[in-house]
């Protein structure tokens, strides 16, 4: 579900807590930049915080990449035909490279085909994956891809790109950044650290780290 929280709402909360509604010490643009930076940091910590689903064209061969701006592959579900990639096709199965090697040791040099049957992915290489059979030299196929993406910059009146459940995290992140501006004062430095820790706590970092499931665990 798309967020309904705007950057302005979070900025109002930040300004109210700082008692700086007139922007005497911190501008609204500074708070907006903190919200944009905070959204990116949230996705870095929790890649599942901002997910995109797209029909993505593949490249020749077995080695493939997720789209520019992507952070981590989550799943590849099915084929989407040839260009323009709008035709629902056969399901694609995830396998480990070891399993694929045992099934067909020569899969890397198999005859190319646009329709993907299997894909292989390793979280240690989050931007890349491999497909079988290899894609042909031309006439590449499209696949339905689910991946974590980097949030783009938003304006004050825009809704946040991460889910509404991260509103409090962005609020704490904004306060932390605000107090960093006056961190030469000991009390401000302490508040900056305290609010950043509150940001992490909201994300569950202190209690129990929430990491995206390795798709190789899918049965």
Residues 6+ away with beta carbon under 8 Å from 70: 52, 127, 147, 148, 149, 150
Q: Specify the pLDDT at position 3.
A: 82
Instruction: Give the whole-angstrom CA distance, residue 40 versus residue 21.
Output: 26
The H-assigned helical ranges of 46-145 are 97-103
Q: Which domain holds residue 19?
A: 7-48+152-217
Tokens of 6: 């705007």
Where is the domain boundary, 118, 134, 149?
Answer: 149
Tokens of 69: 């701006």
Instruction: Give the whole-angstrom CA distance, residue 182 versus residue 99.
Output: 56
**Predicted structure pTM score:** 0.80
Confirm whether 184 is domain-assigned. yes
CB atoms within 10 A of CB 171: 23
Cβ atoms of 196 and 176 within 8 Å: the answer is yes
State how many domains the chain has: 2
* Block mean pLDDT (10 aa), the chain, length 219: 88 96 94 97 92 96 96 96 96 96 96 97 95 96 97 96 94 96 79 94 64 48
Q: Specify the pLDDT at position 212.
A: 45
Shared domain for 129 and 61, answered yes or no, is yes
Instruction: Give the whole-angstrom CA distance, residue 79 versus residue 172.
Output: 42
Shared domain for 72 and 113, answered yes or no, is yes
Confirm whether 33 is domain-assigned. yes
Q: Specify the pLDDT at position 182.
A: 80
Cβ atoms of 134 and 118 within 8 Å: the answer is no
Shared domain for 73 and 101, answered yes or no, is yes
Where is the domain boundary, 149, 168, 201?
Answer: 149
Confirm whether 166 is domain-assigned. yes
Shared domain for 67 and 79, answered yes or no, is yes
Q: Specify the pLDDT at position 217.
A: 53
Shared domain for 161 and 129, answered yes or no, is no
Shared domain for 57 and 144, answered yes or no, is yes
């Amino acid at each position: 579900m798309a967020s309904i929280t705007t950057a302005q709402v979070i900025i109002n909360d930040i300004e109210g807590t700082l008692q700086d509604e007139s922007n005497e010490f911190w501008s609204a643009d500074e708070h907006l930049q903190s919200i944009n930076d905070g959204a990116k940091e949230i996705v870095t910590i929790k890649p599942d915080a901002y997910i995109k689903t797209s029909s993505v064209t593949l490249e020749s061969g077995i080695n493939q990449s997720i789209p520019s701006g992507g952070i981590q592959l989550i799943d590849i579900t099915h084929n989407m035909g040839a260009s323009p990639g709008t035709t629902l096709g056969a399901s694609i199965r995830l396998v480990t490279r070891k399993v694929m090697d045992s099934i067909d040791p020569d899969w890397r040099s198999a005859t190319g085909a646009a329709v993907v049957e299997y894909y292989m992915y390793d979280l240690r290489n989050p931007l890349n994956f491999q497909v079988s059979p290899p894609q042909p030299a031309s006439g590449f196929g499209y696949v339905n891809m689910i991946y974590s993406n980097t949030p783009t910059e938003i304006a004050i009146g825009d809704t946040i790109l991460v889910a509404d459940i991260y509103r409090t995290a962005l609020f704490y992140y904004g306060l932390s950044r605000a107090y960093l501006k006056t961190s030469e004062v000991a009390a401000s430095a302490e508040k900056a650290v305290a609010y950043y820790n509150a940001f992490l706590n909201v994300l569950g970092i202190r209690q129990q780290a929430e990491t995206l499931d390795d798709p190789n665990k899918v049965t």
